[in-house]
């Protein structure tokens, strides 16, 4: 084991402040982006867990959220022209006003909810692939709805309670997990129930189309071929590409990027200052040992390398602690039903920045090595 690594392990208390500073800087940025990504993920949950491998959006849409103003219903038969396509359906979303029937002492709740319309039969392209048989059966009953477990409090209901949607009575037959939303709750219902509630929009314009194909592994190829056939009428996306693009567009277009940018600057500044000062102090504590190496003829360049290696290990330890803390925050958020998500395109820059902070701090600490004058060891 190298001197730098063994020093970090043996004298970890000395380096703890730097490691914590890095971890907190990382956590600050990751928690903010994670929460925001989680919010956007809750919007894309129905897409992410759709059995469809391909989504069709209007040609000008850059994601689910930007320039996605709907498309003509006649796009549906065009998609069937591709031989690999098995099923095409419009992903029906709507809005409704929800109110509960307050029990004794319970406050009345009224809120706008996002209605997700599915076909409750096995293999339906609109049915989320994590819906169990019980959920499917529950949805098959008229006037029954399903909500996410974390929305029960917000909607003021329990399982098997009645509620009103746009003034019509429905029953909460079951709860699902993993569709938590920071804002409006999602309410799942069958196409039939949606019709009964006058929520099924059968106009000539539809939202995203979900497409099931013969071999999901071929999604990229089929999407490219569909685009080749589109004549500029629509744009086909593989599910993963669309989910990625949607998250990124939320990050780019939301005001959150300013907040995250600010957090990065503050985090990096605090990280550099604390890490630099801690490293300097720790090196100073071993300065006589460094000086004895100098006396024995080890060059200043070699000592600098030790310090740089040390700072790199501090960065790695900071990164590890960031991961642990972020994991803990994630678990905590999950227990409160707050969705968080940490896509690689956020994690990677954060990791690189943290290592960069550690390296910069190491470079700033090099000056302290000038104090390693071996002649000072002589009394």
Partner 1 sequence: MSSLALDAKGLSKAYKIGKTRQQVLKNVDFSAYHGQVTMVMGPSGSGKSTLIAALSGLMRPDEGDVQALGESLWNKSSRKVDKFRLDHCGFIFQGFNLFPSLDATAQVVQILRYCGVGKRESHTRATAVLESVGLGARLHQKPAELSGGEKQRVAIARALAKSPALIFADEPTSALDSVNGQVVIKLLHEAAKERNAAIVVVTHDPRLEPHADRIIHMEDGNILSDHMISAPPS
Residue numbers of the site for partner 1 (CB under 8 A)? 1, 3, 6-7, 9-11, 286, 288-289, 291-300, 302, 374-375, 377-379
User: Which one, of 40, 64, 45, 218, lies nearest residue 129 by Cα?
Assistant: 45
In the bound state with partner 1, the residue whose beta carbon lies nearer, of 144 and 280, is 280
Q: Phi and psi of 205, rounded to 5°?
A: -110, 135
What's the rounded Cα separation, in Å, for the pair 379 and 374? 11
What's the rounded Cα separation, in Å, for the pair 271 and 360? 10
Within 8 A by CB and 6+ apart from 301, the residues are: none
In the complex, what is the shortest distance from the CB of residue 302 to partner 1, in angstroms, rounded to a whole number? 6
Total Cβ atoms within 10 A of residue 71: 23
Using alpha carbons only, give the angle 41, 43, 49 rounded to the nearest 5 degrees.
70
In the complex, what is the shortest distance from the CB of residue 299 to partner 1, in angstroms, rounded to a whole number? 5
In the bound state with partner 1, the residue whose beta carbon lies nearer, of 6 and 69, is 6
In the bound state with partner 1, the residue whose beta carbon lies nearer, of 13 and 81, is 13
User: Which one, of 204, 349, 378, 178, lies nearest residue 291 by Cα?
Assistant: 378
In the bound state with partner 1, the residue whose beta carbon lies nearer, of 81 and 370, is 370
In the bound state with partner 1, the residue whose beta carbon lies nearer, of 168 and 298, is 298
In the bound state with partner 1, the residue whose beta carbon lies nearer, of 15 and 276, is 15
Helices 300-335 and 12-48: crossing angle, nearest 10°? 40
CB 319 within 8 A of CB 19: no
Using alpha carbons only, give the angle 294, 300, 306 rounded to the nearest 5 degrees.
95
CA distances from 131 to 46, 114, 153, 325 (A): 11, 18, 22, 31
What's the rounded Cα separation, in Å, for the pair 244 and 237? 11
In the complex, what is the shortest distance from the CB of residue 5 to partner 1, in angstroms, rounded to a whole number? 9
In the complex, what is the shortest distance from the CB of residue 306 to partner 1, in angstroms, rounded to a whole number? 10
In the bound state with partner 1, the residue whose beta carbon lies nearer, of 313 and 330, is 313
In the complex, what is the shortest distance from the CB of residue 290 to partner 1, in angstroms, rounded to a whole number? 9
In the bound state with partner 1, the residue whose beta carbon lies nearer, of 295 and 360, is 295
In the complex, what is the shortest distance from the CB of residue 20 to partner 1, in angstroms, rounded to a whole number? 20
Coil, helix or strand for 102? coil
In the complex, what is the shortest distance from the CB of residue 208 to partner 1, in angstroms, rounded to a whole number? 58
In the complex, what is the shortest distance from the CB of residue 68 to partner 1, in angstroms, rounded to a whole number? 58
In the bound state with partner 1, the residue whose beta carbon lies nearer, of 85 and 284, is 284
In the complex, what is the shortest distance from the CB of residue 13 to partner 1, in angstroms, rounded to a whole number? 12
CA distances from 210 to 75, 77, 80, 124 (A): 12, 13, 12, 10
DSSP label of 107:
P
- β-pairing, 54-57 with 235-238? antiparallel
């Amino acid at each position: 084991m190298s001197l730098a690594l063994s020093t970090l392990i043996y004298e970890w208390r000395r380096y703890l402040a730097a490691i914590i500073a890095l971890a907190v800087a990382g956590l600050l940025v990751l928690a903010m982006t994670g929460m925001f990504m989680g919010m956007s993920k809750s919007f894309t949950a129905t897409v992410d867990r759709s059995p469809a491998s391909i989504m069709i959006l209007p040609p000008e849409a850059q994601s689910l959220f930007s320039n996605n103003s709907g498309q003509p219903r006649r796009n549906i038969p065009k998609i069937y022209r591709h031989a690999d396509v098995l099923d095409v359906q419009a992903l029906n979303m709507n809005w409704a006003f929800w109110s509960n029937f307050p029990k004794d002492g319970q406050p009345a709740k009224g809120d706008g909810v996002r209605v997700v319309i599915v076909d409750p039969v096995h293999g339906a392209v609109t049915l989320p692939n994590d819906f169990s048989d019980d959920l499917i059966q529950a949805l098959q009953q008229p006037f029954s709805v399903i909500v996410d477990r974390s929305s029960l409090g917000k909607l003021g209901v329990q399982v098997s309670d009645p509620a009103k949607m746009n003034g019509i009575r429905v029953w909460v037959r079951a709860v699902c997990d993993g569709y938590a939303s920071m804002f409006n709750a999602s309410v799942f219902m069958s196409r039939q129930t949606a019709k009964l509630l006058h929520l099924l929009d059968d106009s000539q314009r539809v939202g995203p189309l979900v497409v099931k194909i013969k071999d999901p592994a071929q999604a990229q190829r089929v999407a490219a071929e569909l685009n080749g056939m589109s004549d500029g009428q629509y744009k086909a996306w593989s599910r993963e590409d669309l989910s990625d693009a949607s998250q990124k567009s939320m990050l780019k277009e939301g005001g959150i990027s300013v907040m995250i940018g600010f957090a990065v600057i503050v985090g990096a500044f605090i990280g550099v200052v604390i890490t630099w000062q801690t490293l300097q102090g720790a090196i100073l504590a071993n300065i006589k040992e460094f000086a004895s190496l100098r006396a024995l003829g080890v060059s200043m360049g070699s000592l600098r390398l030790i310090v740089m290696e040390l700072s790199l290990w501090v960065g790695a330890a900071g990164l590890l602690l960031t991961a642990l803390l972020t994991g803990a925050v994630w678990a905590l958020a999950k227990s409160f039903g707050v969705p968080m998500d940490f896509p690689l395109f956020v994690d990677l820059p954060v990791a690189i920045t943290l290592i960069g902070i550690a390296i910069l701090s190491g470079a700033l600490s090099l000056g302290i090595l000038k104090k390693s004058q071996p002649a000072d060891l002589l009394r």
